[in-house]
């Protein structure tokens, strides 16, 4: 069946059409992403009110663009899936109301999708042979959490950040060292040019048996180091900061992933979310999995950031599990 996936939880409006079948077919026919990054860059971060308006302007246009790219019409669709939570409420409501109108006007099943579960579902598109159970790490601008994935729709959080997310931590320091928002990808590149041992920062991996993280101490330590050095008229090399900061985050996440693999006895590990595009992190986690004989699955870069295809994929499994929304469907900011 062809599923239309609509995503509008943050700063990308996306509409995708994916063909998913029980025989393992996962065919992304179109995955249109209208990014608002250029608009929000002026403010150094996402402005919720502006995001909502930009989604309104884009959502209908990109849905028809997705149909045209896929060479399909509305009559070919079998279901509509939409991100309902978590995210910016004014942004989510745009996608939810659009998807509701589309589904009820066409008499199509409407499937509500959790944004984090959608990130995990991007892995089914990357590897059609992937089946639960597995351990997943979603690492993005808003989340850094481990999930025990029992079935495609039975997903339980087993640890996560108690404050900032890894993506937020990258973006914050990137901004201070002069990189444009969002700075994750630029910081990834810059980190290759610096000395990863020039400074020592506190690990985001919390001590003890927990699978939880805290990124706020690391962020504050890096900011303090930058401010103090600047006051002394001796600013550190941005490449050294990028390299040390990245090493600290990658080491911390790798350490907790090692613990999570042991705790869950997982044979397969999935990483997803915008920060899953980080080349240093991918390398470290690939090598950790190799060492432990664990299968490593990571989506291609195009499916790491927010996109409609992952929403369609999660929606398909929700559809199979009988999940349906009625016209009272609402969005919610919380997890």
Tell me if 275 contacts ligand KG4 by CB under 6 A: yes
Tell me if 182 contacts ligand KG4 by CB under 6 A: yes
The entry of Zn ion, ligand KG4, none near residue 139 (CB within 5 to 8 angstroms by kind) is none
Judged by CB, which is closer to Zn ion: 11, or 240? 11
> Per-residue DSSP letters for 217-265?
HHHHHHHHHHHHHHHTT-PPPHHHHHHHHHHHHHHHHHHHHHHHHHHHT
Q: Select the residue interacting with ligand KG4 from 86, 109, 132, 142 (CB under 6 A).
A: 142
Tell me if 278 contacts ligand KG4 by CB under 6 A: yes
Helix (H) or strand (E) holding 39: helix 37-41
Residues that bind Zn ion (CB under 5 A): 140, 306
CB of 204 to Zn ion, least distance (A): 19
Q: With contacts defined by CB under 6 A, name the span among 101-109, 147-155, 178-186, 228-236 that binds ligand KG4.
A: 178-186
Q: Select the residue interacting with ligand KG4 from 112, 160, 184, 318 (CB under 6 A).
A: 184
Helix (H) or strand (E) holding 89: helix 89-106
Tell me if 274 contacts ligand KG4 by CB under 6 A: yes
Judged by CB, which is closer to ligand KG4: 240, or 306? 306
- CA distance readout (Å), 214 to 69, 137, 222, 246, 277: 42, 15, 14, 15, 21
Tell me if 277 contacts ligand KG4 by CB under 6 A: yes
Judged by CB, which is closer to Zn ion: 170, or 201? 170
First CA to last CA across the chain, in angstroms? Answer: 29
Q: Are 308 and 14 in contact (CB under 8 A)?
A: yes
How many other β-carbons are positioned within 10 Å of the β-carbon of residue 64? 12
Tell me if 4 contacts ligand KG4 by CB under 6 A: no
Enter the tokens of residue 196.
């990863």
β-bridge mates for residue 310, sequence order: none
Which spans of this chain sit near ligand KG4 (rule: CB under 6 A)?
10, 140-142, 167, 170-171, 182-185, 188, 273-275, 277-278, 305-306
């Amino acid at each position: 069946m062809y599923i239309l996936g609509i995503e509008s939880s943050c700063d990308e409006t996306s509409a995708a059409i994916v063909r998913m079948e029980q025989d393992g077919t996962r065919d992304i026919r179109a995955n249109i992403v209208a990014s608002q990054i250029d608009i929000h860059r002026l403010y150094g971060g996402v402005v919720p009110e502006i995001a909502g308006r930009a989604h309104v302007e884009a959502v209908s246009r990109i849905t028809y663009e997705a149909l045209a790219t896929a060479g399909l019409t509305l009559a070919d669709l079998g279901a509509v899936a939409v991100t309902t939570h978590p995210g910016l409420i004014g942004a989510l409501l745009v996608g939810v109301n659009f998807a509701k109108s589309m589904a009820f006007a066409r008499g199509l099943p409407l499937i509500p999708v959790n944004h984090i579960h959608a990130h995990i579902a991007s892995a089914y598109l990357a590897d059609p042979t992937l089946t639960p159970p597995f351990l997943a790490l979603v690492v993005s601008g808003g989340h850094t959490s481990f999930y025990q994935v029992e079935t495609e729709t039975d997903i339980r959080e087993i640890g996560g950040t108690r404050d900032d997310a890894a993506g937020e931590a990258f973006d914050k320091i990137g901004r201070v060292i002069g990189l444009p928002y969002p700075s994750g990808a630029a910081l990834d590149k810059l980190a290759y040019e610096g000395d990863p041992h020039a400074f020592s920062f506190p690990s985001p991996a919390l001590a003890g048996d927990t699978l939880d993280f805290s990124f706020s101490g690391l962020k504050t330590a890096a900011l303090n180091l930058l401010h103090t050095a600047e006051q002394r008229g001796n600013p550190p090399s941005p490449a050294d900061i990028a390299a040390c900061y990245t090493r600290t985050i990658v080491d911390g996440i790798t350490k907790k992933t090692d613990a999570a693999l042991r705790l869950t006895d997982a044979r397969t590990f999935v990483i997803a979310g915008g920060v899953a595009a980080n080349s240093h992190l991918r390398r470290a986690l690939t090598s950790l999995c190799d060492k432990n004989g664990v299968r490593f699955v990571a989506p291609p870069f195009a499916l790491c950031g927010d996109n409609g295809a992952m929403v369609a994929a999660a929606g398909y499994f929700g559809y199979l599990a009988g999940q349906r929304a009625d016209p009272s469907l609402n969005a919610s900011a919380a997890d």
